[in-house]
Amino acid sequence: MTTHTATAPGESRPVALVTGAARGIGAAIALQLAKRGFDVALADLRFDDGDALRASIEATGARADLFVGDIARLDEHEALLAQVLAWAAKPLDCLVNNAGVAPEQRVDLLEMSAASFDRVLDINLRGTLFLTQCVARHMAGTASEHARAIVSVSSVSAEMASPERAEYCVSKAGIAMLTKLFAVRLAPLGIGVFEVRPGIIATPMTQAVAEKYTKRIEEGLVPAARWGQPEDVARAVAALADGSFGFATGSVVNVDGALSVARL
């Protein structure tokens, strides 16, 4: 697999699609990929400040555009990909699966509803799996001069149990197996597939529990003794996306300040 960092003037740029890109980790990933030489298609349910986000990415010299869609709607996947390809005018080189939701309410495992489970799984796992399938078919049927990769943003919750948000944990554990399956299937084609597991990251999703986690971090929960930032995750994703670690396909990268390391 070839690798690249920044793109020289006149050089062909690889194209990445980032889901859940309107804010937080997704927006940081899109910006970091642009700095690494990618043109970036940003997809999300809506963009509250899309013009500013696009401008920040274009300021790096990248092309960028916004695509509105719901990955839980499997019947919209082909249309989303077609729109991105029409905009890019070249094959897709990278998919970053970042779209995801937390339960609307944290409740005890014994009280979890089927409706909440279905909502979280439809977006975090079912939608992600079938969008990945859609993009993988495209990649398998096209050629590119660039390295190609699929990177899924999961969570330390893929392994660390939180009984008050079981549906989220189950969805992220599913992403772990999704990564292994696509890594094995796509390895002969030279397409790298990776999972990135953030820990406690300062994003809109964690804002409601910020006070709780700040206290726990101060008490030693995270060995790095700080909140993670979206940029921490973005740098890991970008390194995996550019082909530098192609032979490490199937790998998991924890971006959590050693939170998930077992300790005595």
CB 88 within 8 A of CB 41: yes
Closest CA relative to residue 92, chosen from 198, 17, 174: 17
Rounded to the nearest 10 degrees, how much is the dihedral formed by the CA atoms of 159, 163, 169, 171?
140
Catalytic residue among 47, 168, 182, 227: 168
Distance in angstroms (rounded) separating the CA atoms of residues 91 and 76: 19
Contacts of 137 (CB under 8 A, 6+ apart): none
Residue type, position 171, single letter:
S
Verify whether residue 168 is a known catalytic residue. yes
Sign of the CA dihedral 227, 197, 234, 232?
positive
Closest CA relative to residue 99, chosen from 195, 23, 201, 202: 23
CB 56 within 8 A of CB 197: no
- Residues acting as catalytic residues: 168
